[in-house]
Amino acid sequence: MDEADRQLLRRSRVRLVSELQVAPLWDALLNRELFTPDMIEDIQQAGSGSRRDQARQLITDLETRGRQALPLFISCLEDTGQDTLASFLRTSRQAVKRDPEAIRSLDLVPEELHAIKLDPAKPAPGNLTPVVLGPKELRPAALRPETPRPVDVGSGGFSEACARDRLRGNVDLAYVLSAEPCGHCLIINNVSFSPTSGLGARSGSNVDCEKMRRRFHSLHFNVEVKCDLTAKAMVQALVQLARRDHRALDCCAVVILSHGCQASHYQFPGAVYGTDGRSVSVERIVSVFNGTSCPSLGGKPKLFFIQACGGEQKDHGFTVAHASGDRVSGSNPEPDAVPFREGPRTSDQLDAASSLPTPSDILVSYSTFPGFVSWRDTSSGSWYIETLDSVLEGWAHSEDLQSLLLRVANAVSERGIYKQIPGCFNFLRKKLSLRPKGAGALTLPHPRPAAASWRQ
């Protein structure tokens, strides 16, 4: 789908979700080969399965269905008697084709989000009464003369009470990982892909997988490894993990090693490929573990580590005064992505429902910035996993997870001729400190000479 059609769909999303009748569309979408039966089934199961959730998922997935997706969808609307929406999309599309700037003038903002304009000469709507704040009301309570100030009265006084409160607060702001095992860790390692997928084998990924298996075992996790899964099998494995009873456990971790790509998203960017060339969005992966689907993990940290490309851009970096790292001439690391194609095979999206619960107690760590490739050595594994493993080995006994991931980002950013910067979406409510069974000295990857095992 070209960018103009994609932008039109996104700007029309509110109206489409509100008015679209999905039930009559299924046969029309199948007849015009816009979606496969399995994809229709995925859309029907989106979110709560309501009409709005299905409509929202349908519009999101439509972006991935090729260059003619929008005109074919408009024809499906006409076939099912939804002429008002069909006419709206067709007219808007024609206007945008004539003048690309016309899309900015489309009034597609939901009415409930329009700001209420108040006329000072008229009473406020409903039962609302304007309140005029004077100088006294605007002053912070702590600075008002009538507010008593705390006084340090020595032993047992205000300062010691504050110190006790701070200590108690520090404990309250840390997750407790005392269970044995600490939790389940699922590693999905996709190495060999179907020839029809257009995706190459991920040499070196088995090295990453073994490092993560050993590392999370040393962190008191019960580790399970699944290899070479299709997109549907990936979702099934995640659902099976979410349906386990986690009540006696304190945490859950998911590590995914695969090719990846950009994907439409609302909260979490990116998608990872199954071995069949179909992709599963990171949003879909995270949503499997929300409070509704996995209540036994409610309030407990859920960690996701994604080693996959976030897109096709290659970062050459920029010059700084004290840059370091292995800018080795002639080395060609291999990216975990392939050129994006809009054909039906490689861009089928098993995307997530847009309405996720409040994403608390979730951390998603990405190997690279959204839109950029993630590099992997075909003999020693990916930059991100190699560095993550080394940092966990050297520092997990003394630092919280967020500090560890900062170390990972800094170390990876200094590597290679092409550059890479890991990052994370952190919705944890507290600090998380892992419990290594043993701690060793930090051993970050060292610059290595160019080798034949590095290829692009």
Tens of pLDDT, residue by residue over 243-276, are: 999 999 999 999 999 998 877 767 788 899 999 9
pLDDT (0 to 100) of residue 209: 96
- Please confirm whether the linkage preceding 181 is cis (ω < 30° from 0): yes
Other C-beta atoms within 10 Å of 191: how many? 17
Spell out the alpha helix ranges (H) of 300-415: 383-395, 401-413
pLDDT (0 to 100) of residue 433: 95
Q: Is 152 helix (H, G, I), strand (E, B) or coil?
A: coil
Residues 6+ apart with CB under 8 A from 112: none
Six-digit token string for 356: 């996720």
pLDDT (0 to 100) of residue 106: 55
pLDDT (0 to 100) of residue 338: 45
pLDDT (0 to 100) of residue 7: 85
* C-alpha–C-alpha distance, residues 410 and 395, integer Å: 14
Q: Where in the chain is the domain with CATH 3.40.50.1460?
A: 183-427
Residue of higher predicted confidence among 179 and 131: 179
* C-alpha–C-alpha distance, residues 287 and 231, integer Å: 15
Residue numbers annotated as active site: 259, 309
Residues 6+ apart with CB under 8 A from 376: 202, 203, 204, 205, 208, 307, 333, 334, 335, 336, 382, 383
Spell out the alpha helix ranges (H) of 173-290: 205-218, 231-242, 282-287
pLDDT (0 to 100) of residue 335: 58
* C-alpha–C-alpha distance, residues 341 and 361, integer Å: 35
What element of type H or E holds 150?
Answer: none
Of 4-13, 16-25, 209-218, minimum mean pLDDT range:
4-13
Six-digit token string for 397: 């006994």
Q: Tokens 């690309």, residue?
A: 100
pLDDT of residue 319 exceeding 50: no
* C-alpha–C-alpha distance, residues 405 and 424, integer Å: 8
Q: Is 257 helix (H, G, I), strand (E, B) or coil?
A: strand
Q: Where in the chain is the domain with CATH 1.10.533.10?
A: 3-111
* C-alpha–C-alpha distance, residues 64 and 70, integer Å: 10
pLDDT of residue 357 exceeding 80: no
pLDDT of residue 222 exceeding 90: yes
Rounded to 5 degrees, φ, ψ at 372 are -115, 160
Helix axes 3-11, 83-98, angle to 10 degrees: 130
- Is residue 208 within 8 A of residue 307, CB to CB? The reply is yes
At 171, is the pLDDT very low, low, confident or very high (cuts 50, 70, 90)? Answer: low
Residues 6+ apart with CB under 8 A from 194: 275, 276, 277
Helix axes 401-413, 383-395, angle to 10 degrees: 140
* Max CA distance (Å), the chain: 82
Read off the pLDDT of residues 130-152 as tens digits, 9 standing for 90 and up: 444 444 444 444 444 444 444 44
pLDDT of residue 348 exceeding 50: no
At 341, is the pLDDT very low, low, confident or very high (cuts 50, 70, 90)? Answer: very low
Q: What is the mean pLDDT of residues 295-316?
A: 77
At 315, is the pLDDT very low, low, confident or very high (cuts 50, 70, 90)? Answer: very low
Read off the pLDDT of residues 379-413 as tens digits, 9 standing for 90 and up: 788 889 999 999 999 999 999 999 999 999 998 88
For 183-427, CATH gives: 3.40.50.1460
* C-alpha–C-alpha distance, residues 416 and 269, integer Å: 25
Six-digit token string for 419: 């550059």
Q: What is the mean pLDDT of residues 404-431?
A: 86
- CATH topology for 3-111 is Death Domain, Fas (1.10.533)
**Residues paired with residue 227 on neighbouring β-strands, in sequence order:** 189
Residue of higher predicted confidence among 25 and 103: 25
Q: What is the DSSP letter of 268?
A: S
pLDDT (0 to 100) of residue 49: 80
Other C-beta atoms within 10 Å of 83: how many? 11
pLDDT of residue 456 exceeding 90: no
Q: What is the rounded average pLDDT for all residues in the chain? A: 75
* C-alpha–C-alpha distance, residues 15 and 9, integer Å: 10
Instruction: Sheet containing 349-350: give its strands across.
Output: 260-261, 271-273, 279-281, 349-350
Q: Tokens 């300062």, residue?
A: 159
pLDDT of residue 434 exceeding 80: yes
13: closest CA among 25, 1, 5? 5
Does this model's pTM top 0.85? no
Other C-beta atoms within 10 Å of 370: how many? 17
pLDDT of residue 297 exceeding 60: yes
Of 22-31, 36-45, 293-302, minimum mean pLDDT range:
36-45
Rounded to 5 degrees, φ, ψ at 138 are -80, -15
Q: Is 69 helix (H, G, I), strand (E, B) or coil?
A: helix
Strand ranges inside 139-244, DSSP E: 183-189, 221-227
**CB neighbour class for 232 (10 Å; exposed up to 12, middle 13-18, buried from 19):** middle
